[in-house]
Every structure is written in C-alpha cells, then in structure tokens.
A and B are shown apart, each in its own frame.
Chain A
Amino acid sequence: MGDWKTITVPVLSSDSKNIFSYTSEKKISPTSMNSQVLRLSLPSSKNMHSFFSAFCTEENLEQSISYIDRELTTLGFPSIYAESKGKELNLVSIINCMNELLVLQHKNLRAQEEVEMQHMKLGSDMDHLQNCYAKLKEQLELSKREIVGLQERDRQLQSKNRNLHQLLKNEKDEVQKLQNIISSRATQYNHDMKRKEREYNKLKERLHQLVMNKKDKKIAMEILNCVGRADGKRGAWRTDKTEARNEEEMYKVLLSDYEQRQKQLLLENAELKKVLQQMKKDIISLLPPQKQKPKEKSEDGLVLSDQEEDIGELNKENMWELSCETVREQLTNSIRKQWRMLKNHVEKLDNQVSRGHSEALNEKDVISREDHELETEKLELEIQQCKEMIKTQQQLLQQQLTCDDDTTLLLQDCYLLEERERLQEEWRLFREQKKNFEKERKSFTEAAIRLGLERKAFEEDRGAWLKHQFLTMTADCSNSNATTPSAFLRSSEPDIRLVKSASQQRKPSSVLSAPASAEPCQTSLYIAQNSVVSEKPAADIMPNLWVESDDKEETE
C-alpha cells in the first residue's frame, strides 16, 4: 500500500481541493503515484485528464484493477470481480461501486461546502469580534482617560472647596474680630463720651454759676397784669397733701386705663368664646349621625361620651359665664377634639371618594354618591319651584299694583264714594250741631240780657240799701247802743242780701245750668258763653258781682 501523504496545499481553489480530496482517497502506489501526485498538485483542469489516464494505462490494467478492488474491499464495498478468485470483472458491482463512490463524493463535496461556509462564517465572525474588541478597547481607553480627567477635576474642586471653607472661616473670624473691635471701640467711645460729658457738665455748671452770680436784673418777667388761671382756680401751696393727691390722681388715671383695657379684653373674650361655642355646635352638627351608634370603636364611643358631657357642662357653664382656667381649657380641648373628629371624617370621606373612583363594586359609596346626587337634584327642583313661586307672586303683585284702567278707576271711584258718603254724614252731623249751638247761643244771649237787667235792678236795690244802711249806721253811731242790733241787722241784712244775691246767683246759674244738662260740649260752651257774656258791656258788672259776693261770703 502506498503511504498516505497529506499535502497541505494552501491553495484555495475548488479544483485543487477536489484534487486534494482525490488524492486523499485514492491509494496511490508509493513511488510512481507519489511523483505523479506531486507533479499533479498544480491546479489545472487539463492535468486532471492526464491524471486519470496516468493512473491506469494499458500495461498496468490488471494491476490497477486489482488495486482498485483491494481498495474497494477495504473500504467495505463489494468486490468488483465476478467471483472471489476470478479475473472477470463484475460490471454490476463495478457500476454500483462507482455509484456509491459518486454518492460518497457528492456527500463529501457537500460536507466540504458546508465546512467551508462555516469556516467563512467563523472567519467573518472572528473579524467582526476582533473589530469590536478593538473598538471596545479604544472606548475603554477613552473612558479611562475621562475618569482620570474627572478625578482630577474632582480633586481640584475639593481643594477649591476647602479653600473656600477656609476663606469663610477666615471671614467669620474677621467678622468676629471686627465685632469685638466695634464693641471695644464702642465702650471706649462711651467712656470718652462720658468723660467729655462730665467736662461739659462742669463747664455748664460753671457757666450756670456765673450766670446766676451775675444777678442779672435783666432776668425778669415784665407783665402788665397777672392773668387768671385757665380753670379759674387759685394756685395752691405745695404740701404733702397735694403730693398725696397727685399720687392719688395718677394712680386713678392708671387704674381707669387698666379698667378700660380689661373691659375691652373681657368683651373680646366673651365674643371669642361665643364664636368658639358656635363653631363647636357647627362642627358637631357637621359630623354624621352614624358615628353616634354605640357599635363604633371604643375610642369614638369614649370621645362621644366625653363630648356629650362637655356639651352639657359647657352649656351650663356658659350660662354662668365663668372665665376660670378650667372652663377655658375644657372649651378649647373640646373644640380641638371636635376638629380632629371632623378632620378624620373628612379624610375618610376623601378616601372613600378616591376608592369609589377606582372600585365600582363598593355599593355603599356608589349609593351614597347617588343619594348625594338625588339630594342635589331635589334641592335644585325645590329651588326652581321656589323661584317660580316667587315669579308668580311678583306677577300677581304687579298686577295688583298696576291693573287695567277700568278696574283702577272703579276702585278709585268706590273709594271716593265711600269717602264722600262719610263726609256727607259728617257734614250732616256738623250742621245739626251747628243748629243746636245756634239755638243755645240765642237762649244764652237772652238769658244774659235778662241777667243783665236783673243785675241792674239788683244794683239799684243794693245802692239804695247801702245808702239806707249808711244813713242808719251814722244815725246808730251817734247812738252807740244801737250798734249790736244794727250789727245783727247789718249782719242779717247782708245775710238777707246774701241770700238774695245767692238766690239771684242761683237763679242765673239755674237759668244757665238748665241747658247744661247732658252733653259735655254744652258745658264747655257754657264756660265759653260765660266768658262771652263777661265780655259784653252790660254784663261787666257780673264779675264784680261775683267778686263782691265772694268777698261778702268771706267776710261773713
């Protein structure tokens, strides 16, 4: 058998590869074949034919056939000889072998192709990876450089920061120092100022002394005359009493001011307390009634009970209007509690609303919202109804005020008629009264005239009687004994006269009083009449009469 010589020929042509594959398959006799193969390693299609012919010539036909048979049998193919020991060739087996070899050849070609493809792919992958690798290496380099740069910057910035901190500290120290300097300078200035001031005071004192010592006659007040004090009082001496009074007044002023302020503060406090109470009530009303169920948590329950207690207590105490600490604290604490409860409630509602948006299953919330909407609708309806009612009412009012002309005229006429009737009635009454008054007046005048006449007569009688009396008196005086009887006479006479006058008085009064029976206006008229009568010249004597009779009554 020939040696297998694997010749690695780095030539990349398919032909040469084929040749190579051929050479690897076929057993070539050592010497001749070797050289032939070596010679035929050059890729040329022409050589192939020559190669085919070079292997088997007419001379070595049997040798080559036996060689091929040996090869085939070693490869597992059936022998190409007809029989195992004959020299006749089995054509069928030869053809089969050839076919098999061709198939094998095809398979191998395909495999080769595949391998070559893979090889190419791997090669390109390799290239690609190498490129990537190169790029990444570059990037790495770059980023390393960047990092280094950034680190540098960071270091610089940190050092800067440290510097700035240092500067800041320095500045602060400086500021502190300056402040210290300022304060020390200030104290120094103060000290200097005080010294200068003392000097100045001394100078002033000296000046003052000089001024006072000079005893300037010029320092005087020239005034024409003293002016009174503004409040008219005289000046008071300075005594302890006045001092005490001054103190008293001052304290009074202060006290009144404090009292006023306290009043204001009390008022403010009361108002604020009222406001707080109101707020508390509002908050309690705002909180839903559900919470008052005892099934709620124990905290709420406790709080509720407290709250109720508080309400009770504070309501009571509000009536007393105590302003002590405990009440104040209670009030503020209770308001805080209420406020917290309200806050919690509002938060819960918020949560519910947010949950309700996300979960539609929570019927309770949906219902509550629905309820809310229903309520709002109801309220809106109510509002509309009310508005309509108001409109209709307005319309009616307007109608009433400005109705048709006819109706207004009618109405006005009605009113006018009513009024006219009333007025007519009154007129009638008035006329009647007037008539009555006229009548009375006439009667009064007649009576007055009569009275006047009677008075005249009475006067004449009186005059005569007086004369007579006077004469008798003078006659009696001369006879002193006759005084008493005459006195009696006198007394009796005036009595008689009085009786007479009284009767006469009664007469006119009776005359006058007769009409003064029932109606009160007539009595007033009587008085008026009296005055009227008194004005009349004929009745002038009457007041005198009245007076005289009064006098007489008094004297008797």
Chain B
Amino acid sequence: ASCVQHRLVVRDASSLQLLQLYTCLDQIQYIEWSSDSLFILCALYKRGIVQVWSLEQPAWHCRIDEGSAGLVASCWSPDGRHILNTTEFHLRITVWSLCTKSVSYIKYPKACQQGVVFTKDGRYMAVAERRDCKDFISIFVCSNWQLLRHFDTETQDLSGIEWAPNGCVLAAWDTCLEYKVLLYSLDGRLLSSFRAYEWPLGVKSIAWSPSSQFLAIGSFDEKVRILNHVTWKKITELDHPATIASKKTIVYKEVEKSPAVDPERLSFPPTRELASSLFSTKSKYDISQVPVSLQYVKPVADRANPKVGVGMLAFSADNCFLATKNDNIPNAVWIWDIRKLKLSVVLEQLCTIQSFQWDPCQPRLAVCTGTSRVYLWSPAGCVVVQVPGEGDFQIMSLSWHSSGDSLVLLSKDNFCVCYLEGEEV
C-alpha cells in the first residue's frame, strides 16, 4: 500500500498490480496495515482524522475524528481491531474499538521516542507515563485493555521502552543525559539496572537479539555494550575506532567504476538511455587491505543531539550478526559476529548510510545510502545493485518483505520493489 497525497493505493506485492484505490479527505500523513492484513488505517494528522479501509469490502468505511483534541500519532493494536490515537501535546491516548465502537482512554502518556510498545505475541502493551514529574510504566492486557501493572521507574526522563522478543522482559532507558538502562520483568519487578558511566552522553539506541539472549546498547561514546539475559551484566564492549587494524576483519569498500563507453555506439543527439548510463556512476565492492582508516567526521561541539555515537543497531534474524552504524563514521556499516563477539565485516560506502535492515529469514543485510543503489551483504559476500531507470532515484529507506524475497526501496517521491530470485539448485 502506498499513499499519494490524499489517495491510498493498494497493490499486489508480487506483481505491483493495482488492486484498490481509496480516497481520503485530506493529505495522508501515515498509513499502517492491521496485523491480519484486512484493514489499513490512514492518519490525517492535520485534520485529526483517522480513516480505516477494508480490503475485503471496499465499500466499508470507518472514520475516527479526534476533533479539537488533535492527532499526533496513530497505530493499530496487535489484534487488528483497535486503533490507538495519541492526541496533540500527548494529552491522552484514545483506544478506539472497531468491534464495539467503544472508547478507552489512557492518561498522561509520555512524549518520548518510543512510548507505546507491544509484545511480539501481541498480548501485552507497555505504555510510558509521566505524572507529577515522575516516570511510570503501565502494562495492559491487549485482549480486554485491563491494567495489569503500574509501577514507577527510577529514571530522570524516560526516553524509550522496548519488549524483549520473548515478551517477558521490558527494557527502559533514560534520556541521553543519563546513562541508565532498567530491566523490568513482565510483572513489574525490577530485574536489574545497568549504568556504564556517569557524565558523558548516554544511550543512543537499543536492540534486543531475536532470541532475547542479548541486549545491545549503543551509546554516544561510540561503543556498543552487550548484556546477557542470565545475569544482565555486560559481557562485552564493541568499540568503533576510525582505524581498523585487526587482520580478521574484511573491509569492503565501495569504489566507483567509470562506465565503459563504446565510442561507436555514441550517437548524436544522444539517446536518453545512453545519457543516463553515461552519467550514472556504477560502483562495485573492493576488498581493502587492513589496516584501513575510515572517514571520520568530527562532530560540532556545541549543538544538541550531536552526530556522535552508535545510532543504528540491528540484530540479524538468526541471532548471529549485529549490524551497527557509528554516526561519527557515517559511511560505514559495522557487522559483528555474535558467536565470536568480534568484528567480522566493515562495509565502507561512498555516501552516508541512510538506513539498513536485515532480511527477516536469512542473514542478509540491505543497506541504502541515498544513491540509486542498494547494497546487499551476506556471509557469502556483498553486491551492489543498481536500480535501473532514468534519473535519480535516491533511496532513503528500505523495507524487507516478511518472506525475505523482496525489498521495497523508498525515495522521497517514488518507491520500487526489488525482487530477489532464489538460486536454482
């Protein structure tokens, strides 16, 4: 599904054929599929309206109007039948039910990076709240929206919460002014608290491993600390220096290769294809010899939220690799082998990394840097894929299909789908 201005376009995933076309009242800011893929919600923040469309019955419609309360965020509940709207200024979260047309309110939600999280199995929801200048976490049962637990956290300013994939542990971390990560059990007990250092800027990003065994904490001091689930103590620190000296690390460097121009094929006036192929630069990967020094960007000292530290963290689906990005060294993706807890590969690109995502089935990483190329890495090697087409297609973000067969590449105005063919055995 994609939205264009005020229209919602639904296409088939394998053939990109147009299936449905819905029109909303105003420009759509956010769309989300329900968990059973039967409904799509379209949030129009400016108007404060959420419209829900059904795929089975195109004639069915639903409109939720927040009125003067305003709308800042909207999302589905895991059962696909409730919509949670966050009103402006985070005054409250309204839970609208599509089954019973009833409404519930959650008061005092916290305006933070990640305030509402659901467990992977969709049973429980944790909401970060703030009352009387103190942070609290409430755990609700999603089936009947009953409050299960309500407890306070020892944080200064709770910045985010995240469930472990096994749904039993909740990680909460403090604002970047304080390095503090708290781990709570499902029933609200504090299991452990982790603090690496006191004064410098703290946690920037957090990721759970898919088996819930490890919690990776990326911080502003360019290090990733990994905690284990048995003792909740640090088992290792992964450093991101600008020079890589270890012999066991493979460094793939993206190099531009100028396109070979056949002088006989040149024609005047040049055809469009020829022009685009002339000017679009191709690139490939080269293996650089260790030691390699990466491009290091010194952050501006007196700005808030400096571009320092480990800003992106992602575990692979098979729990074997961890991909990180150090914002100081914005062109490189670091891939760590979790079984050995060592740096295994560094991908050095020509431009700043915009985003990367692991394949949900295999240990395959897709990286995009704002150019018209998508980069794929797997333990077998890495490859540069050029998006065919004319003009610039600057890929800003990407997303894998849940089967791992295709990728959606998004630029500012367009998107395209990249299909990955399996090997013929």
Contact = CB atoms under 8 A, between A and B. Distances in A.
Contacts of A246: 141, 144, 146, 148
Interface string A220-231: 111111111111
Nearest to A197: B133
A214 to B, nearest CB: 6
A158 to B, nearest CB: 35
B63 A179 contact: no
A238 B144 contact: yes
B146 A238 contact: yes
Contacts of B100: 226, 235
B310 to A, nearest CB: 24
Contact of A229 (B68, B90, B99, B157): B99
Interface stretch (A85-93, A113-121, A204-212, A398-406): A204-212
Task: Say which size band chain A's interface belongs to.
Answer: 35 or more
B101 interface: yes
Nearest to A190: B156
Interface of B is mostly: loop
A218 B67 contact: yes
Nearest to B51: A222
B78 to A, nearest CB: 9
Nearest to B119: A253
Contacts of A229: 79, 81, 99
Interface residues of B, number: 50
Interface string B181-218: 00001110000000000010000000000000000000
A214 B96 CA distance: 20
Interface in A474-529: none
B285 interface: no
Nearest to B65: A218
A546 interface: no
A265 B229 CA distance: 12
B148 A247 contact: yes
A198 interface: yes
B248 interface: no
A197 to B, nearest CB: 5
A182 interface: yes
Contact of B67 (A179, A216, A227, A261): A216
Contacts of B64: 221-222
B101 A250 contact: no
A412 B89 CA distance: 93
B113 to A, nearest CB: 17
B62, B123, B167: residue with the most chain A Cβ atoms closer than 10 Å: B62
Nearest to A205: B91
A231 B91 CA distance: 31
A204 B130 CA distance: 12
Interface in A251-266: 251, 253-254, 257, 261, 265
A198 B130 CA distance: 11
Interface of A: 179, 182, 186, 190, 193-194, 197-198, 201, 204, 207-208, 211, 214, 216, 218-231, 235-236, 238, 242-243, 246-247, 249-251, 253-254, 257, 261, 265
Interface of B: 35-36, 39, 54, 59-69, 79-81, 89-92, 96-101, 103, 123-124, 130, 132-133, 141, 144, 146, 148, 156-157, 166-168, 177, 185-187, 199, 229-230
25 contacts: A182-B199, A194-B133, A197-B133, A198-B133, A204-B91, A211-B67, A216-B67, A216-B69, A218-B65, A219-B65, A219-B66, A221-B62, A221-B96, A222-B62, A222-B64, A223-B61, A226-B100, A227-B54, A227-B99, A229-B99, A246-B148, A249-B123, A253-B123, A253-B167, A254-B185
